[in-house]
Amino acid sequence: MPAIPALLRPRPLVLTLCSALLASAVAAPPALADPTPQAKSWKVSGPPGSPTAVVALDPTDGRPTLAVRRGDRTVLEPSPVGLVTERADFTKELTFTGRSDRKVAGSYTSTTGKSERRTVDMTESRFRFRTAAGARVDLVTRVARDGVAYRYVLPRDEGDVLSEASAFTLPTGTDAVIGKYRPDNELLFSRYASATQPTTGTYMMQALFNTPGGQALIAESDVNGSYSGAHLTHEEGSPTYKVALWNDEPVQVPDGSALTTPWRAVITGDLATVTESTFVDDLAPPSRVRDTSWIKPGPALWTWLAGGKEAGQSLEAQKKYVDYAAERGWPYEVVDAGWYYKPGEWDVIDPDWQTNNWMPELVRYAAAKGVKIQVWLHYTLLTDPAEREKWLSTLERWGVKGVKIDFMDSESQERMRWYDDVLEATARHHLMVNFHGSTIPKGLQRTWPQVMTFEGVGGEEKRTNTAEHLAALPFTRNVIGSMDFTPGAFHRPYRPNVNSDAGELGLTVLYESGIQNLAGTPESYDARPEARRYLEQLPARWEHTRLLTGDPGRSAVLARQAPDGRWFIGGTFAGAAQTVDVPMRLGSGRWLVETVTDGPSGLVRAPHVVRGGDTLAVPVIADGGFAAVACRWWQGRTSCDS
């Protein structure tokens, strides 16, 4: 997988209050040459520059397939589609009965993510099929500039879903960046020279393939309690990755109910297109939260890796962390496990936690210093509706602004129903959410904008992370939504870039999270004044994201634009020390770029004046990285914070 620099293209962003309310508006597309019901293959084309989806029926056994192409190049070979229910097999012996097309277009805003303003421009085609016995299924496809997606729509009374035939067959010459599957989605990503190489087993959905037709990232969107989450299965030597449902359990469909499944998606294009894509969110239902004015992203001082369990049970320790967050200008402090347990015990809830607790005092103390409090909860506290209401209403009354909910460790249909209930309740109580031990975003941040981030990643807490894993995440897990990696733990001896403080600093920008939980100790920040200075400048959200250069599993450099117009840049690299040529695709004119790199005696900040489009040479140490901030230059300007 050779290094591929990002090719940045201007993207029109037109947003008004009216257009934001029309995010799912549809209009009839120009008339398409539709084949007769006897035809065996049909193309779906999107806006200019889009890939093409090809839906087909095998003429011998009526098996449906879907392929993806870019021009004359193959992204996906004809891949199985279909599903099996209790009452019908929709994977073979199907007959095509019709097709309809429409445009899906509009715009919306996002409280988190790579950009605030989003545009949607897709072509949707609905293919209608029936079995010999008369059972019906619709295959709905969507094609956009950055992807292809499909889902199934079943009429009433087809029974539970037993399995899907859905799969992705890669062309010869494809390599892969992929990770094994576990219910918490926290295993490592690795790079393979061939997509057939990974051993037989289960893999995470966010798998990246470099095909002859371009990059292809597998994903899903619009998963809720009507379905379970999915992962991939693969047999060594095979070019096909199959979609598997949770524990192969049937998806329960209430008697007499219709069913619309989640989207199966392929984000595709060059590396920049995939990395910058919002396709997973674009496919998701619009926001269910009408008033989002209370939802405020921003950096947080997270005290777990800094202070552990003891800090979680100490009001005085938490006040000191609040003081430090206030000094840095960070808007949040996160109190982790321990605060509602009996003093000195770590698995026993204090029965008087509502009345005999120091949290209200901490919230008042923090508020006086301009800092808001978020708290950790074990998900089992929120399973019973009455208990859930007691916990969330009490936290809202105290003035807590967010909850970090942990240890779900399942993507079953039952657990997805739990997510539905908790998302509705936290929105009603104006509590922002950080899910840990969790599923991955799957479009939920568009539908429920109070969700600031998900873990679902092998993050800073892990002791087994590799430099390869760090350089894979911007192209895999973080593409599909916010990722709570919890960077900034300079004091941790287990991080793969332990010798590169500049690399650790760069992760705070390279990895997007609505709440960027900074995991270091105050002492570690004070010992690194250049890192502390940089972290004090982190904005609450991003306006735009651009890939400057990268090679999945080996290197990644991203630039993210703050609301004030400055660009923050983070880079990570696996391998030997090197000098990296970074294209400064930030816009025309002159820019002052302040780089923070590793020096013999610590972090070194250096100014550079470059023109937009120039290449900047940046030194990085082995398995290291760098951070930078860029601002408009004028004569005499020497710093981006002046």
From 230, 155, 610, select the one nearest 442 (Cα to Cα): 230
Total count of domains within the chain: 1
Structure tokens that stand for 436 in this block? 């840990």
Residues 33, 36: Cα–Cα separation, whole Å? 10
User: pLDDT category, 30, cuts 50, 70, 90?
Assistant: very low
> Quick count: other Cβ atoms within 10 Å of Cβ 233?
18
| Domain that residue 115 falls in | 17-283
Structural domain contains residue 377: no
Q: Does the structure show a pLDDT above 80 at 334?
A: yes
Separation in Å, CA 288 to CA 53, 116, 418, 444, 541: 31, 17, 17, 10, 21
Work out the mean pLDDT of the chain and round it to a whole number: 93
Q: Does the structure show a pLDDT above 50 at 36?
A: no
Q: What is the pLDDT of residues 356-402, one digit of tens each?
A: 899 999 999 999 999 999 999 999 999 999 999 999 999 999 999 99
User: pLDDT category, 505, cuts 50, 70, 90?
Assistant: very high
Average pLDDT of the segment spanning 228-253 = 97
Q: Does the structure show a pLDDT above 60 at 166?
A: yes
Q: Does the structure show a pLDDT above 70 at 22?
A: no
pLDDT on residue 556: 98
User: pLDDT category, 157, cuts 50, 70, 90?
Assistant: confident
Can 406 be counted among the known catalytic residues? yes
Structure tokens that stand for 99 in this block? 């097709």
Q: Does the structure show a pLDDT above 50 at 310?
A: yes
Q: What share of the chain in percent tops pLDDT 70?
A: 94
Structural domain contains residue 168: yes
> Quick count: other Cβ atoms within 10 Å of Cβ 213?
20
Separation in Å, CA 214 to CA 71, 106, 144, 172: 11, 27, 15, 13
User: pLDDT category, 299, cuts 50, 70, 90?
Assistant: very high
Structural domain contains residue 297: no
CATH of the domain at 238: 2.70.98.10
Q: Does the structure show a pLDDT above 60 at 6?
A: no
Average pLDDT of the segment spanning 516-544 = 98
Q: Does the structure show a pLDDT above 80 at 13?
A: no
The sign of the dihedral angle between the CA atoms of 295, 299, 301, 304 is positive
Q: What share of the chain in percent tops pLDDT 90?
A: 90
Structural domain contains residue 563: no
Average pLDDT of the segment spanning 557-569 = 98
Q: Does the structure show a pLDDT above 60 at 100?
A: yes
Q: Does the structure show a pLDDT above 90 at 28?
A: no
pLDDT on residue 5: 40
Structural domain contains residue 108: yes
170 has which bridge partners?
none
Average pLDDT of the segment spanning 531-540 = 98
Structural domain contains residue 566: no
pLDDT on residue 602: 97
Structural domain contains residue 278: yes
Buried-exposed string 303-335: b where 16+ CB fall within 10 A, e elsewhere: bbbbbeeebbbbeebbbebbbbbbebebbbbbb
Element (H, E) at 307: helix 304-312
pLDDT on residue 344: 84
Q: Does the structure show a pLDDT above 50 at 17?
A: no
From 452, 455, 528, 457, select the one nearest 488 (Cα to Cα): 528
Structural domain contains residue 470: no
What type of residue sits at position 456?
A: G
Q: Which of 138, 184, 276, 406 is catalytic?
A: 406
pLDDT on residue 497: 87
> Quick count: other Cβ atoms within 10 Å of Cβ 134?
8
Q: Does the structure show a pLDDT above 90 at 323?
A: yes
Can 77 be counted among the known catalytic residues? no
Q: What is the pLDDT of residues 594-639, one digit of tens each?
A: 999 999 999 999 999 999 999 999 999 999 999 999 999 999 999 9
DSSP letter (8 states) at residue 315: H
> Quick count: other Cβ atoms within 10 Å of Cβ 576?
9
Residues 508, 533: Cα–Cα separation, whole Å? 13
Q: What is the pLDDT of residues 45-64, one digit of tens each?
A: 999 999 999 999 999 999 99
User: pLDDT category, 38, cuts 50, 70, 90?
Assistant: low
pLDDT on residue 347: 83
Q: At what angle do helices 359-368 and 315-328 cross, to 10 degrees?
A: 20
- H helix intervals, 232-300: 271-276, 279-283
The answer to which of 236-245, 349-358, 404-413, 584-593 has the lowest mean pLDDT is 349-358
241 has which bridge partners?
168, 234
pLDDT on residue 343: 86
pTM of the model: 0.93
What type of residue sits at position 422?
A: V
What type of residue sits at position 215?
A: Q
Q: Which of 160, 409, 421, 461 is catalytic?
A: 461
Average pLDDT of the segment spanning 95-100 = 97
